[in-house]
Chain A
Amino acid sequence: MRLAWVRTGFVVGLLALLVLTLIPTRGSAGAAFRKELVLGNIQEPSGLNALTSVASTETQFMPLFTAYSFLRSDRFDQINDYVTAVPTLSNGLWKVSADGKMEVTWKLRPNMKWHDGHPFTSEDFKFTWEVYKNPKVPLGTRPALDDIDSVAFPDTLTMIVHYKRPTSQANLLWLGAFAAPLPKHVVGPMLQRVGAERYPEIPYGSDPAQTVGVGPYVFKSWQRGVEMVFEANPNYHLGRPVLDRIVVRFFTDVNALVTTILAGQIDAVSPNPGGIPLAQALEIDDRIQRGQLQRYHVSFYDAPASEAYIINNDSPLLQDRRVRQALLYAIDREGIAQTVFRGKVAVANSIYPSKHPWYLQDIKKYNYDPAAARRTLDEAGWRAGADGIRRNAAGERLSLVVTVPSGDRTRERIQEIIQAQWKDVGVEMVIDNKPIRLILGDLWGTGRRPPDLLNLSHPIDEFNDIDVIYHSENVPGVGQRGRNYLRWKNPQYDAVLNEYGKTFDLKKRKELSQRFQRMWAEDVPILLIYTFVGASVVRDDLIGFKPLGLACVPGCYTWNARSWRWSR
C-alpha cells in the first residue's frame, strides 16, 4: 500500500518536472525587442561606495549609478560628466603660480539632482572632502593628501583646490579617482550613527534602498552572489538611458560563466578584471569560428598593462642587475605568447604596449637566449654547482621563491614553463603560491622566506603612472601612495620622475618617459612577460558596447552605458 503511494507520487513528480522543462527558457534568445541587458561577471564588488570601493572591478560598476568628474571613451577622449569643463592650463581653470603652487577650479553643471530628487551641489563635495581627509575614517586611498593644501567651496557650484606643489594628476585625483562624491543628506546621518572609525559599516553602497547616485541608472537591487540590477534614471542630466534595465550576473566559476554564454543567457561580458579571462575568450572565439556558437562575437583590445614577475628589489639575490637581465633572457616569452595565447598577446619589451605613442622602439630587448643568460650569470659570479644550480663565491644557491596567485590555471601553467626554462640555465624556482587575498594583504610576506618574485599585473596608465610606481617616495609605508610594490629605490630614477611629475608639457613628458624607459630596460627592475590583451564577448545585436580594454580607469566598459542599445 505504502509502496503504491510512493510510486504514484514519483510518477506525478516526474510528469511535473517534464512539463516544467518543456516551457521555453526565458532569456535573451528570440526576444523581439528588448530594453534589458544581462552582463556576466566573475568578480563581485564588495560594495559601491565611492571612497571605499576603489578596486578596478568596483570602479567599473560605479559609473552606472553615480557620476565622476569625467570619464574616458574607448578612444581615450574625455567625456565630461558632472562638470561643465575639465580643468586644463589652456581653459584657465588650472593655474600654476610662479612659486610652484597650483589652483584648480571645478565648476559643476547646474540643476543636477540625486536619484531621490535632492539637489546635487558643492555641499556634497565639501562633505566628501571632510570624510576623505578625516584620519579617523579608515580609507585606503588618499593619494591627493600629499599634494593638496586646502579646498574652498565659494558657492554651490564651484570648488577650488589649492595645491602645495605642482602635480600632473590634479584633474584626475582629488577625491580619489575622478572624484565621485557622496550624498551628504544620505551618508551624513549614517556616519553620525556609526562613527568615523566604522565608516566601512555604513549601508550606503551596500543596501540599494539606502544608496543614491546621480548616474544614468538607479541601483535597484543586489542579491549577493547572484546579481545586481540597475534601472534607468529618467532624470539623468545627460539624457535618459536607452535601456530600461541592466542586470549584472555574478559567477564564482568561470566554466559556469562560459556555459551560460553558450546557452545564450548572457548578452555581454567585459574584459578582465571581473570579466572574461583571455583563455576562456579564446575558447569561445574558437567555437564561433567553427560555427558552434552563433550571434556572438569576441573582440580583443590592447591593454595598458603587462603580465609581470614583480621583483622584490630588497631580495639579496637580485641586487645585481645582471642576474635580473639573465632571468629575462632565460624566458621564452615569444613561445609563451604563441603557445598559451595563440599569438594574441605580444612580448612586453617596455612598460608601454608597442602601439602606445610613448613606446620607445630602440629599447634594449631581451629575446629568448639561454646562452646569453648563462654567460651573464657567469659574469655576475654565479657558477654552475654540482646539482645543476648555480652558486656564488659565498656558496649561496641561486634559488628564487616565486609566488603566483593560486588557482589561476593560466598563470600556474606559465610558471611551470618558466621554472623549467630557468632550471635549464641553472636557476632554481621554488614555487610558493598563495590565494590572491593573502598576496595582496601582505605583498612580500613576513614569513621566514619572503618571495623573491610575485606574479601580478603591472598597469601603466594615468593613475598608475611611472612616477607613482617607480619613485622611492612611494615604497609602501613611506608616502601616501605606497604603490611602488617593487620596492625600487634609485636616486637617478627619482630625479627623472620628479621632473616628470611636475612637467605639464606633453612633448617634454614624452621625452622624460623615454629617458625613463631606457634606464628601465637596462636595469630590469621588473620582469615583464607579455602585454595584456583584454577580450569581450558580446551579442551581435548589441550596439555601443565599446570597452577600453583592460584598464584601471573607472568605467573602462561602462563609460557609455547610457547609450547601449539593441539593434532590434
Chain B
Amino acid sequence: MRRFLVRRLLLTVPFLLAVSAMLFLILTLAPGDPIDLFILSNREVQPRDVEALKRAYGLDRPIPVRYVRWLGRVASGDLGWSLYYRQPVMTILRERVPNSLLLTLPALGLAVALAVPIGILSAVRQYSIVDHAANLVAFAGYSIPLFWLGIVAMYFFAVVLHWLPPGGFPGGAGVTVVTRLRYVILPMLVISFHLIALLVRHVRSSVLEVIRQDFVRTARAKGLTEARIINRHVVRNALLPVVTVLSLVIPALFGGAPVTESVFGWPGIGHLLVQSVLVGDHLVSMAVLMMIALLIVAFSLVADVAYAWLDPRIQYE
C-alpha cells in the first residue's frame, strides 16, 4: 500500500505540470489579456500606456517564457497579482474558499444523507411508487439547468413566500450564525437537488446489482432479517461505485459551484472562476483551475484508498 501511495504521489507531479501547461496555453491563447480590463475602464487609454503595462506585467514575452516565469513564482508560493481585483491572488483565494465550503459542504452532506437512503429504498422496492417518484426526481434534478432552478427557487421562496432572502451574502461583523444560515439555505438546496439526482441513480443501480448477487441470496437463506441484509451486506458493497462518483464530485464542489454561486451572488470560488474567465483575469483563473486539478488528483487517491477499505479483496501491491 505504501509503495502504491508513493508511486501515485510521484505521478501527480508530471500530471499537474501537464495540466498547468495546457490550461496556461488555452487561457493565454484566448482573445484578450488582463490589460484589456484596464482599457475597459479607460476608453481613452493610449497605445504607449498599454505597451508600458504589458511590459510591466511581462505580457509582451512569448507564452513559453511567461509560463516558466509563472511556474517559478508558483513554486515559491506566489500566485501572482490580479489586475481585476487589484489584490494578490492568494488573498482572494483565502477569502473565497471558506465561502464556497460554507455552501458546498452542507449541500454535499444533505445530498448524501438523502440520496443514499432514497437510492437504496428505490432499488429494494423496484417499480414501486417510491421507485418511480425517486426516478422522476432524479431525472428532473439532472435535466433542469441550475441557473433556471436557482431563479425559480429565488422567486418562489423569496418573492412569493418571503421565507428566505433571495440571494447575496451577509457580510460585516455583526452577522449572526442564524442570518448566515438563512442565506445558505436556498443555494445549498439547489446544489443538493442536483447532487441528489446524480447520487440516487448511482446508488439505485449499484444496489440493484448487488442485491441479485449469490451472497445476498445466501444471507436470506440463513434467515437474516431484510434490514440486516441491506445494512450489513448490500450497502457496503453497493457503496463502491458511489465512492467513485463522490471522488469526482467533491473536488468540483471544493472548486465552488460556478452557476449557483453566480445566480445567488455568493462570493465563492465558483463565482470567482466565472468572473475571472469573463474578464480575462488569467492568473486568477489559473489559480482556481489548478486548485481544482490538485483536488481531483488528491480525491482520486483518497477514493483508491477507500476502495481498499470498503472491499478488502482490493489489493494495490
Contact = CB atoms under 8 A, between A and B. Distances in A.
Interface of A: 1-3, 6-7, 9-10, 13, 17, 20-27, 29, 46-47, 52-55, 58, 135-136, 138-143, 197-198, 200-201, 203, 205-207, 221, 223-227, 229, 249-253, 255-256, 259-260, 262-265, 434-438, 440-442, 477, 480-483
Interface string B202-239: 00000000000000000000000001001100010000
Contacts of B17: none
Interface-central residue, B41, B53, B113, by most chain A CB under 10 Å: B41
Contact of B166 (A24, A47, A206, A263): A263
B155 A259 contact: yes
Interface in B130-177: 147, 150-151, 154-155, 157-159, 162-169, 171-172
B10 to A, nearest CB: 37
A3 B42 contact: no
Contact of A22 (B53, B154, B163, B230): B163
Given A6-B116, A225-B272, 5 more contacts: A58-B41, A206-B86, A225-B265, A259-B154, A482-B46
Contacts of A442: 36
B43 A140 contact: yes
Contact of B86 (A203, A259, A265): A203
A197 B165 contact: no
A140 B35 CA distance: 11
A42 to B, nearest CB: 11
Nearest to B35: A441
B278 to A, nearest CB: 7
Nearest to B271: A225
Contact of A229 (B84, B171, B271, B279): B171
Contact of A441 (B40, B53, B87, B162): B40
A197 B151 contact: no
Contacts of A3: 117, 120, 227, 230-231, 235
A252 B274 contact: yes
Contacts of B147: 253
Contacts of B272: 225
B52 A20 contact: no
A311 to B, nearest CB: 18
B62 interface: no
Contacts of A203: 86-87
A221 B147 CA distance: 28
8 contacts: A3-B231, A10-B114, A47-B86, A53-B41, A55-B41, A206-B85, A224-B267, A259-B151
Interface string B259-274: 0001111010001101
Contact of A260 (B39, B168, B171): B168
B12 interface: no
A25 B162 contact: yes
A438 B181 contact: no
Interface-central residue, A24, A55, A198, A224, by most chain B CB under 10 Å: A224
Interface string B231-257: 100010000000000000000000000
Interface string B179-212: 1011001000000000000000000000000000
B32 interface: yes
B256 to A, nearest CB: 11
Contacts of B267: 223-226
Given A226-B168, A226-B169, A438-B31, A140 B39 contact: yes
A480 B172 CA distance: 43
B37 A256 contact: no
B166 A481 contact: no
Closest 3 CB pairs of A and B: A140-B42, A140-B45, A441-B36
Contacts of B53: 138, 200
Contact of A140 (B49, B87, B171, B279): B49
A27 B38 CA distance: 36
A226 to B, nearest CB: 5
Given A262-B155, A440-B39, A221 B45 contact: no
A28 to B, nearest CB: 11
Given A25-B163, A256-B167, A481-B44, A226 B265 contact: yes
Interface residues of B, number: 75
B189 to A, nearest CB: 8
B265 A437 contact: no
A345 B92 CA distance: 42
A1 B231 contact: yes
A9 B109 CA distance: 11
Contact of B41 (A20, A46, A223): A46
A376 to B, nearest CB: 33
B166 A265 contact: yes
A140 B86 contact: no
Nearest to A228: B171
Contact of A252 (B40, B43, B262): B262
Contacts of A46: 37, 41, 84, 86
A29 B31 CA distance: 45
Given A139-B49, A223-B171, A226-B267, A198 B117 contact: no
Contacts of A253: 147, 151, 262-263
A405 B278 CA distance: 13
B179 to A, nearest CB: 7
Contacts of B45: 140-141
Contact of A483 (B44, B47, B178): B44
A221 B174 CA distance: 13
A1 B267 CA distance: 39
Contacts of B154: 256, 259-260, 263
Interface in B112-134: 113-114, 116-117, 120
A221 B169 CA distance: 14
A143 B43 CA distance: 12
Contacts of A47: 86
Contacts of A477: 46-47
B178 A23 contact: yes
B281 to A, nearest CB: 10
A9 B113 CA distance: 8
A252 B274 CA distance: 10
B158 A138 contact: no
B229 to A, nearest CB: 12
Nearest to A19: B178
Interface-central residue, B86, B95, B150, by most chain A CB under 10 Å: B86
B81 interface: yes
Given A46-B41, A54-B42, A20 B32 contact: no
Contacts of A21: 157, 163-164, 182, 185
